[in-house]
Amino acid sequence: MLNTQSTDWRVALYTSSMPIHRDSHQREQHRSMTTIRDLLDEEVAEFPVYERSPVPGSPATPTHGSATRLAYALVAVLVGTTAGLNGALVSVNTLHLQQIMNLSAHQVAWLSTCYVMTAVSANLLLIKVRQQYGLRRFALVFLGLHAILALMLAFVPGLGTALLVRAVSGFVAVALIPLCLFNMMQAFPARWRLRGLVLGIGVTQCAVPLAHVLSPSLLASQGWRSLFLLEAGLALLSLAAVGMLRLPPAERVRVFQPLDLLTFVLMGSGLALIAAVLGLGRWEGWFQAPWIVASLFIAIPTLVAAGAIETSRRTPLLNLRWLGRGDVARFAVAVFMARIVLAEQGIAIGVVSELGGTSQQLAVLSMAMLGGAVGGVVISALTVNAEKLARPMMLAVGIIGLAALVDSMSDGAHHLNAFT
Cβ partners under 8 Å of residue 262, min gap 6: 309
CA distance 341 to 326: 22
- Kindly report the backbone phi and psi dihedral angles of residue 47, in degrees, each rounded to the nearest multiple of 5, phi listed first: -120, 155
Q: Are 176 and 139 in contact (CB under 8 A)?
A: yes
Farthest-apart Cα atoms in the chain, separation:
106
**pLDDT tens digits, residue range 61-90?**
888 888 999 999 999 999 999 998 888 888
Mean pLDDT over all residues of the chain? 79
Query: Exposed, middle or buried, 225 (CB in 10 Å: 0-12/13-18/19+)?
Result: middle
CA-based angle 93:94:98, to the nearest 5? 120
Q: Among 92, 212, 235, 91, which residue's Cα sits nearest to residue 150? A: 235
Catalogue all structural domains in the chain, each as residue range(s) with its CATH number: 63-254 (1.20.1250.20)
Beta bridge partners of residue 59, listed in sequence order: 250
| Pick from 132-146, 190-204, 235-249, 402-416: least confident | 402-416
- pLDDT confidence of residue 305: 93
CA distance 403 to 380: 19
- Kindly report the backbone phi and psi dihedral angles of residue 45, in degrees, each rounded to the nearest multiple of 5, phi listed first: -155, 155
Give the global pTM.
0.81
**pLDDT tens digits, residue range 240-292?**
998 888 888 877 788 888 888 899 999 999 999 999 999 888 888 787 888 89
- E-state strands within 158-293: none
CA distance 36 to 229: 25
Query: Exposed, middle or buried, 375 (CB in 10 Å: 0-12/13-18/19+)?
Result: exposed
**pLDDT tens digits, residue range 153-162?**
777 777 888 8
Share of the chain above pLDDT 90, in %: 12
Q: Are 121 and 271 in contact (CB under 8 A)?
A: yes
- pLDDT confidence of residue 77: 93
**pLDDT tens digits, residue range 199-240?**
988 898 888 888 888 888 888 887 778 888 888 899 899 999
The number of beta carbons lying within 10 Å of the beta carbon of residue 278 is: 12
- What is the identity of the amino acid at 175? A
- What is the identity of the amino acid at 229? L
pLDDT greater at residue 410 or residue 266:
266
Whether the pLDDT of residue 33 is over 70: the answer is no
CA distance 203 to 185: 13
CA distance 389 to 31: 52
- pLDDT confidence of residue 36: 58
Q: Among 45, 71, 69, 73, which residue's Cα sits nearest to residue 59? A: 45
CA distance 98 to 385: 45
**pLDDT tens digits, residue range 162-203?**
888 888 888 888 888 988 999 999 988 888 888 888 898 889
- pLDDT confidence of residue 64: 83
The average pLDDT across 110-120 equals 89
Q: Where are the alpha helices (DSSP H) in 187-289?
A: 193-205, 207-222, 224-244, 258-284
CA distance to 42, 68, 86, 247, per residue, from 251 (Å)? 10, 22, 30, 12
The average pLDDT across 143-159 equals 82
- Kindly report the backbone phi and psi dihedral angles of residue 59, in degrees, each rounded to the nearest multiple of 5, phi listed first: -70, 155
What SS3 class is residue 35? helix
- E-state strands within 194-353: none
The average pLDDT across 115-136 equals 85
- pLDDT confidence of residue 415: 57
DSSP 382: H
The average pLDDT across 367-385 equals 86
Whether the pLDDT of residue 101 is over 60: the answer is yes
The average pLDDT across 40-63 equals 70
- The pLDDT-based confidence of 24 (bands split at 50, 70, 90) is low
The average pLDDT across 78-106 equals 85
